[in-house]
Amino acid sequence: MMRRGFMKMLLVVMLFAALIMAGCQQEEASLQKITVVLDWVPNTNHTGLYVALEEGFFEEEGLDVKIIQPTEGGSADLIAAGQGEFGLSYQEQVTYARTAEVPLPVKAIAAVIQHNTSGFASPAEKQILSPKDFEGKKYGGWNSPMEEAMIKGLMGITGGDFSKLEMVSVGTLDFFAAVSKHVDFTWIYYGWDGIAAEVKGVSLNFIKLQDVDARLDSYTPVIIASEKLLEEDPELVRSFMKALSKGYGFAVEDPDRAVEHLLRHAPEIDREIAIESQRYLAREYQGDAARWGEMDVEVWRTYADWMFEKELIPHELIAEEAFTNEYLPK
């Protein structure tokens, strides 16, 4: 009798366990798998993604999200080719993509950071306080036409002579290695290298682009998707953006807790720099916008007009077609 009772109980437990496993498998199978392509290695620009992943915001929206790093082609090429549903890009890249001889059908659907936080940085002892002070100095970059146009334009505004500047490639050297041995200044994002300098006790001079020319206040980075996805599955896009908005909202409200999610996925990042960077970006993600992610057509138009003026793009951008706020939560 005891043996039969034990066997019955064991069967009930096994059946219950099987039902639970089946339920879990069904729930997992019901989640829609999507891929997000980063613009670079994981960093504090991306924290909202990892928050949404770790806090279950994507899962709440029925999404199983995989985050990958880009190949040499960049995120815009991959998204246009259907190698991912969403990507991290920047306004300049989207403008290039949409005005190319063979345009890439990608569109920005949210601004990760509301204002451009990049600019030219140099050790304080170099005494580079204005673009005019670039004269006689050595700049380290990537030999891109954008860099030359940017520096030449800023020097022109401040009365500098571009012909007196030497430009060299520093490849993948970081800011500190570059300016300590090879060049006088480079182009950085203050949210990472600027904060790193503060943490390391390195005194910098930093020239923010839009402080010299207001037209250079662009969105970088941005979330992008293909026009095909936007047309064929708008509800998927809305679900993704709802979860992602929660992720960045979380990072704004609790940066110290949010950065732990990033560090869990990128333990190689310097912890102290990541924490301070996260606190800095918590003020920058939404900035002065009415909601996280929102973009203004004038920012797109003004920056594209500047690029066209500098002959960086072959024709003018139709700004209204390059981005949309339609998929942001109301």
Is 136 a residue whose pLDDT tops 80?
yes
The pLDDT assigned to 170 comes to 95
The pLDDT assigned to 26 comes to 47
Q: List domains and CATH numbers for the chain.
A: 32-114+219-322 (3.40.190.10), 118-216 (3.40.190.10)
Q: Are 153 and 214 in contact (CB under 8 A)?
A: no
Q: Are 52 and 244 in contact (CB under 8 A)?
A: yes
The pLDDT assigned to 29 comes to 61
Which tokens in the block code for residue 23? 């339920």
Nearest to 132 by CA among 106, 110, 162, 107: 162
List, for residues 228-272, the tens digit of each pLDDT value: 999 999 999 999 999 999 999 999 999 999 999 999 999 999 999
Mean pLDDT in residue range 273-292: 98
List, for residues 292-321, the tens digit of each pLDDT value: 999 999 999 999 999 999 999 999 999 999
Nearest to 169 by CA among 191, 144, 151: 144
How confident is residue 172, by pLDDT bands cut at 50, 70 and 90? confident
Q: Are 9 and 2 in contact (CB under 8 A)?
A: no
How confident is residue 70, by pLDDT bands cut at 50, 70 and 90? confident
> Would you say the C-alpha torsion 112, 244, 68, 195 has a positive or negative sign?
positive
Mean pLDDT in residue range 55-82: 93
